[in-house]
Amino acid sequence: MEYKKIKLMIADDHVIFRKGLKKILEDVRSLHIIGEASNGVELLTLAHQLRPDVILVDVSMPVMDGVMAVKELCKRQLTRRIIALSVFSHETHIMEMLEAGAIGYLTKGVGKKEILEAIEAVYENRPYFCPESSRQVTDLIEKYHTGYRNHLVVFTEREKDIIQLICEGGTSKDVARSLYISQRTVEGHRTRIMQKMRVKSIAGLVAYACEKGLYKGE
């Protein structure tokens, strides 16, 4: 039986970093690196042609930066299994990447083991926020979501089910199909959930759910 490999793409304008990352990952049996891009425009073109499972995307790239590229990847439904890469010099860029649709975050100084953990998690539609180097990331997420920190929120069982499915990467259509309800009903629930959480994005919803224990990953 053929062993299924995760199709991976790397987008980063720094050639030495990109080639170095490819070098340390190309011997991993579970991965198949199918393409590289040096800017967001190249990334969109290659992603459309090659249909990767997971993409590692640098925040700062020429021509089209990582934020715009991630927005377009999600808008075109090419993939949401996206891991943002950054040297963590600009906090706002990280949150912009998460709001754009990325569900993972890594600093460029992490080791091979953590990169593989991130790829595996995101491939399974689980959020990954760089836990081994993560006090900075955790502080950032906490600071970003101070609006919901001190208020009591109660969710219905239906809302909890929807939160779980969204955190697993489900679209409104996916959630509707899983729960045997209409897509419009799902969108109404999602709006109320986000209002309760006091967040304005799916990234905010996921971060809230992870922190409060509402998301029970496998």
pLDDT tens-place string over residues 149-171:
444 577 888 899 999 999 988 88
Using a 10 angstrom Cβ sphere, with 0-12 exposed, 13-18 middle and 19 or more buried, the burial of residue 208 is: buried
Task: Quote the number of domains for the chain.
Answer: 2
Q: Is the dihedral of CA 113, 164, 141, 41 positive or negative?
A: positive
**Amino acid at position 207, single letter:** A
Residue 35's pLDDT band (boundaries 50, 70, 90)? very high
Instruction: Report the chain's mean pLDDT, rounded to a whole number.
Output: 83
- Please indicate, yes or no, whether residues 121 and 104 belong to a single structural domain of this protein: yes
Determine the structural domain holding residue 64 and report its residue range. Answer: 6-141
Which CATH number does the domain housing residue 54 bear? 3.40.50.2300
What are the distances in angstroms from CA 69 to CA 20, 52, 122, 155? 22, 14, 18, 34
pLDDT at 95: 72
What are the distances in angstroms from CA 29 to CA 26, 33, 98, 135, 141? 8, 11, 29, 31, 33
Whether pLDDT at 181 is above 60? yes
- Please indicate, yes or no, whether residues 27 and 63 belong to a single structural domain of this protein: yes
- Please indicate, yes or no, whether residues 27 and 57 belong to a single structural domain of this protein: yes
The domain boundary residue, chosen from 85, 108, 141:
141
Cβ contact 58:68 at 8 Å: no
- Please indicate, yes or no, whether residues 110 and 36 belong to a single structural domain of this protein: yes
- Please indicate, yes or no, whether residues 96 and 155 belong to a single structural domain of this protein: no
pLDDT digits (tens, 9 = 90+) for 60-81: 888 888 889 998 998 888 888 9
Cβ contact 164:186 at 8 Å: no
3-state secondary structure of 103: coil
Backbone torsion region of residue 5, taken as left when φ is above 0, otherwise alpha when ψ lies between -120 and 50, otherwise beta: beta
In a domain, 108, yes or no: yes
Q: Is the dihedral of CA 19, 39, 52, 179 positive or negative?
A: positive
Q: Which two tokens stand for residue 167?
A: 């955190």
Distance CA 204, CA 141 (A): 8
- Please indicate, yes or no, whether residues 117 and 150 belong to a single structural domain of this protein: no
Closest CA to 159 of 181, 128, 142, 126: 181
Which CATH number does the domain housing residue 177 bear? 1.10.10.10
Cβ contact 59:92 at 8 Å: no
In a domain, 60, yes or no: yes
Cβ contact 105:98 at 8 Å: yes
- Please indicate, yes or no, whether residues 112 and 183 belong to a single structural domain of this protein: no
Higher pLDDT, 46 or 132: 46
In a domain, 217, yes or no: no
In a domain, 1, yes or no: no
